[in-house]
Amino acid sequence: MKEKMRAVIYARVSTTDQKPENQIRELEAYAAKQGWEVVQTIKDKISGTKQAKDRAGLSKVLEMAHQSKFDVLLFWSLDRLSREGTRETLGYLQTLTERGVKWHSYTEEYLSSLGAFADVVISILSTLAKQERIRISERTKAGLSRARKEGKAIGRPKGKRSAKTADRIRLVKQLRKEGQSFGKIGKQLGITKQGAAQLFAMNPSK
């Protein structure tokens, strides 16, 4: 007799006044229909833009996957899993796949590693992630170009910190001046929010 697939349900809501129970009921019913055994339901009440290390629920999902404690992750939709961006979201899905865990989006059944088109789905997401990296690179270059046009020296005098770091510091300061948050700046530069804040606190000339 074929063993039941062990499923983990992951449900996320953004604020404390939102309730995940409706999601969970439908996800449990779907799992039962598939003949899966739900070994745990994991919830997060936090913005989907937060990294896994800042989300206790998602961190637990990845830890359980590493320990081979379940076979398939079921979630409501891809943006319930993560809203960090295509690259980061793809990274979570690839981590699950590498650890032998399947994944399935309840409301987007085409986003699933269970069917015959799993490789196609991963390929499409990888292409989107590549385009996102290109867009971030273009925005960063545009920011540096704007800083140069405004007369801000970009370069490193002898004995000073590297030009790349100095450029990043100037760009962070410019983007902050334009009202962007450290989180958004970090995404553009491919670093953490904390990293962007640290660059902002630095003097580019030192």
Same structural domain for residues 98 and 39? Answer: yes
Alpha-carbon gap, residue 3 to 190, rounded angstroms: 42
Q: What is the DSSP letter of 112?
A: B
137 in catalytic set: no
For the stretch 21-31, pLDDT in tens is: 888 999 999 99
Task: Quote the CA–CA distance of 146 and 174 in Å, as a whole number.
Answer: 9
> Does a structural domain hold residue 164?
yes
Q: Which of 14, 59, 112, 126 is labelled catalytic?
A: 14
- The sign of the torsion formed by the CA atoms of 82, 88, 89, 93 equals negative
Domain limits for position 167? 136-201
pTM above 0.75, yes or no: no
Q: How many CB atoms lie within 10 A of CB 9?
A: 26
Q: Specify whether 16 is located in the same domain as 91.
A: yes
Per-residue model confidence as pLDDT tens digits over 56-112: 999 999 999 999 999 999 999 888 888 887 778 888 888 998 899 999 999 888 888
Q: Give the residue from 136, 133, 134, 129 showing the smallest Cα distance to 175.
A: 136
